[in-house]
Copies of this chain bind each other. A is one copy, B any other.
Amino acid sequence: MINKDVTLGIDIGGTNTKLGLVNKQGFCLSELSIPTGADKPFDEFLKVVVDSVDKLKGNIDHQVNIKGVGIGAPNGNYYTGLIEEAPNLNWGDKVPVVKEIEARLGIPATLTNDANAAALGEMLFGVAQGMKNFVVITLGTGLGSGIVVNGELIYGHDGFAGELGHTTVFVDEGRDLPTGRKGSLEAYVSATGIKRTVFELLAKRIYPSELRDITYNQLEAKHITEAALRGDKIALEAFDYTAKILGLKLSDTIAHLSPEAIILFGGLANAGDLILEPTKKYMEQYCLNIFRGKVKLLFSNLKGSNTAILGSSALAWTEFERKSKA
């Protein structure tokens, strides 16, 4: 009966919530997915979480000690334990998720946003093992980020450090966003961003493209990737433009933090070299000379459906270690 200590990782998404029990080596012993029910009362969510923990334990053939709970959620604030003004959850302006989970499970819980959890996942279990200064960029519907400095995830003054998706690319005439800001990075570099770029290019260019037969609402990042792999010029230019904007803004991030590596993660990262090679090229081009050739651009090596669980679990392990040392 070795390694019976685990943490519970919970990743709360707009649609589904994933839960899993993860040991110190980053092996997920048991996992499941539940509907988040963002439109139902928060209390119902909590009940399903409690039931789920029993199920997770039941799926393992030995006893486990859950040493802590790590929760990743959009706008999750590490300091307050509140989900604050999350755009996809209708549970109120400030959801006391840490307090309620601790009360129902009787286990210490910690909260942060999903991208921060992903950064901790990379540091404990992934490609950033041994690194003390790195940045994780999650490329999904939007663009999230988690920043590690001197071996610690940074939360800043109020818990909201690492919101690189909301830095500005084009100040006055940039693309609109639900945040009310204009021209933010995530309007260009994300699954949604590259789709918007494709539509701009379909208007601007005159050569044929298989993407001319897909509606805006139908178009997904994977269609753009597949078209690019078949040599579609619009799709290829869309990747190049996305990479240019990402490389440019990564050069700003490098000027702030001088990290050892930047790690790309999430849907758009599945495009592989279509996104990695041009991003690397532009990033180097836009960097100040003292940074050139020094910063690794990598993909996450955490694969599979439980990556988000690993990140949340890593948050719990990090907190458990921190408290053990204190």
Contact = CB atoms under 8 A, between A and B. Distances in A.
B257 A288 contact: no
Nearest to A285: B181
A181 B288 contact: yes
B168 A286 contact: yes
Q: Provide the main secondary structure of the chain A interface.
A: loop
Contacts of A149: 149-150, 154, 156
B181 A286 contact: yes
A23 interface: no
A299 B133 CA distance: 30
A179 interface: yes
Interface in A65-124: 75, 84-85
A199 interface: no
Given A168-B251, A252-B167, A259 B157 contact: yes
A136 to B, nearest CB: 13
Contacts of A161: 133, 256-258
B164 A257 contact: no
A164 B163 CA distance: 17
Contacts of A85: 289-290
Given A75-B290, A154-B150, A160-B290, A167 B258 contact: no
A256 B289 CA distance: 22
Contacts of A152: 150
A240 B18 CA distance: 49
A171 interface: yes
Interface string A250-265: 0111011111100000
Interface string A135-177: 0000000000001011010111111111110111001000000
Given A160-B290, A163-B288, A290-B84, A154 B75 contact: no
7 contacts: A84-B290, A85-B290, A133-B161, A157-B260, A159-B258, A160-B291, A166-B255
